[in-house]
Amino acid sequence: METIIAAVLVISGLGFLLGYGLAFAAKKLETTRDERVAEIEQCLPGVNCGACGYAGCAGYAQAIVAQGVPVYLCAPGGAAAATAIGRLLGIAVAESVPMKARVHCGGGDDVTSQKYRYNGVADCRSAAALFDGFLACSEGCLGLGSCVNACRFDAIDIDARGHVSIREDACTGCAACVKACPRHLIELVPVDRRVHVLCSSTEKGAVCNKFCSVSCIGCMKCEKACPHDAIHVSGNLARIDYTKCTSCSACVAVCPKKCIIDLGKMPAGV
């Protein structure tokens, strides 16, 4: 009996000591939450999209205070959020050009052919995994809406023919659709760059002409017409250097397949 009592006392004593030790350590290691973190959170939109690269708005706010990361990484908040945070921290924030999503494919049921009829899950990744997709073009938009499902701002539309379009007024440049597209057809582009190539096919012209009526054929007419050296054909595909492009539309005028567009001369939402 005495042995049992002694054992209980010893265990109780060890428990008390361990508990006290943990409480003491917690007190010593306790860090005071910087009040600026909460204030910065108030400047952010609170959508927790992760476009900044951190775990939600709270994680980004903590990183700004603790690690000194840039204050302009919040795409949904844009310049307004960056300016507010800069004012709060007493730092100057350089003005930046907003980024918008652009889909580099003009395909749809009316202009592209299919290898087979797909009746599976309405998800681009699932469709792409089945015999490399149902489209004859292995690099074209599948139009099943993975980007739409990923967008938290209702900024992407798909019409009855499978054409995907971005509503610029709603797009925040969060890049969720960029990550969701299994064929990497969506890119963030400065909003003031209005000219875009609506194709991502790297097949030779004679090949892609067989399955898509609006594909780039790598003819190089756009490259020769550009006065700013902003568009070049590489891998059978015209690609725009947005750091040089002035949206002069010279390339748009000479493209025989009409796969280069000027958004400034098209209806909103294209």
Choice between 219 and 9, residue whose per-residue pLDDT is larger: 219
Interacting residues of 222 by C-beta distance below 8 A, sequence separation 6+: 231, 233, 238, 250, 251, 254, 255, 260
* SS3 state at 37: helix
**Res 248 pLDDT > 90:** yes
Q: Give the pLDDT score at 73.
A: 87
Q: Give the pLDDT score at 50.
A: 83
Q: What band does 269 get if pLDDT is binned at 50, 70 and 90?
A: very low
> Could you state, in order of their start, the residue ranges of all structural domains in the chain?
35-89, 99-265
Q: Give the pLDDT score at 264.
A: 84
Q: In Å, what is the CA distance from 144 to each residue of 118, 120, 125, 269?
A: 11, 10, 9, 18
Q: Give the pLDDT score at 17.
A: 65
Question: Which sign does the torsion angle of CA 228, 270, 206, 204 carry?
Answer: positive
Q: Answer whether CATH 1.10.15.40 is correct for domain 35-89.
A: yes
CA distance 159 to 270: 11
pLDDT tens column, 219-245 = 999 999 999 999 999 999 999 999 999
Query: Among 41-55, 103-117, 170-184, where is mean pLDDT lowest?
Result: 41-55
Q: Give the pLDDT score at 33.
A: 63
Q: Cβ–Cβ contacts within 10 Å for residue 257, how many?
A: 20
Tell which phi-psi region holds residue 157, choosing left (phi > 0), alpha (psi between -120 and 50) or beta.
Answer: beta
Pairing relation of β-strands 156-158 and 186-190?
unpaired
Query: Do the first three CATH levels of 35-89 and 99-265 match, i.e. the same topology?
Result: no
Q: Cβ–Cβ contacts within 10 Å for residue 148, how many?
A: 18
CATH code for the domain defined by 99-265: 3.30.70.20
**Res 3 pLDDT > 70:** no
pTM equals 0.76
Q: What band does 98 get if pLDDT is binned at 50, 70 and 90?
A: confident
Angle at 154 between CA 150 and CA 155, to 5 degrees: 95
CA distance 49 to 56: 6
